[in-house]
Structures are given as C-alpha cells and as structure tokens.
Amino acid sequence: EKILLMNDPTLQRRTRATFEKVWQNEQTIFANAVPFVPEILHFSEEIIFTAKELNHQWPKEYFHALVLGEMERLHDDENGYGPKGKDFIPHIDKSEAVWSSYTRIKESIKTDFSRT
C-alpha cells in the first residue's frame, strides 16, 4: 500500500517520519508530495521569496518558529522528537553543515525554539 503525504513544505520531513513511526509494523510506503520549496531571496524586516506569491504566506516570526523550531524537533536529543527525546519519530540524519548553520542562526537571533 502506498500513501501520498502532503503538508506545509516546511513540515514534510517530520510528517513522513511520524507516519513511518506510527505505521512501522505495516507494509506501507509513504511518499512526500511537495508542491513547492520556499526559497528565500532576501531576509530583513520582511521575508522575500523567489516565488513572489509566497511573500505573504507566513509572517516573519511564525516562519522563524516554524522552520527553526522544526530543526529542534528533528534533532535526536532529549529536546527533540526522535528516540532520545519524545520518541514521536525515528532518528533522522542531518548533515553537520545543516546543523552548524542552524546553530549559528539560533545564536544570532537569540531565540530558543525547543518545545517542552
């Protein structure tokens, strides 16, 4: 059985991981349908995307919380949603470059995106 998953593109990775965790004893294949990938062209007071129709899709603070918070949730430690944390999803590998970039951004805006 195949199931096609569609969600906000910033949440697709966790959506699929959640379904795979819940249905881990089934012979089900999950695939993500990502209608678009938001690419940021400019980030200051407002977020400007390469696709102009996305420019008012997310308020800046919400986009921060959504995307950067997702990094915390995907991280497999005591604060994340992986086996070492809440155990909602399986372990997800991330490159060191991605995690390092996230850490620099988090430190520069001095915000904690973890959920309790």
Instruction: Report the DSSP beta bridge partners of residue 74.
Output: none
Q: pTM value?
A: 0.81
> For the segment 3-42, what is each residue's pLDDT rounded down to a tens digit?
999 999 999 999 999 999 999 999 999 999 998 889 999 8
Residue 46 lies in a domain: yes
Tell me, what's the pLDDT at 44? 78
In 3-state terms, the chain is what percent helix, strand and coil (to 5)? Answer: 40, 15, 45
Contacts of residue 19, defined as CB under 8 A and 6 or more positions apart, other chains included, come to 3, 5, 28, 30
> For the segment 101-111, what is each residue's pLDDT rounded down to a tens digit?
988 888 887 77
HSE at residue 33, side-chain half, CA atoms within 13 A, is 6
Q: Which is more confident, 114 or 84?
A: 84
CATH code for position 98: 1.10.3620.10
3-state secondary structure of 21: helix
Residue 116 lies in a domain: no
Residue 79 lies in a domain: yes
The domain containing residue 12 runs over which residues?
2-109
Number of domains in the chain: 1
HSE at residue 76, side-chain half, CA atoms within 13 A, is 12
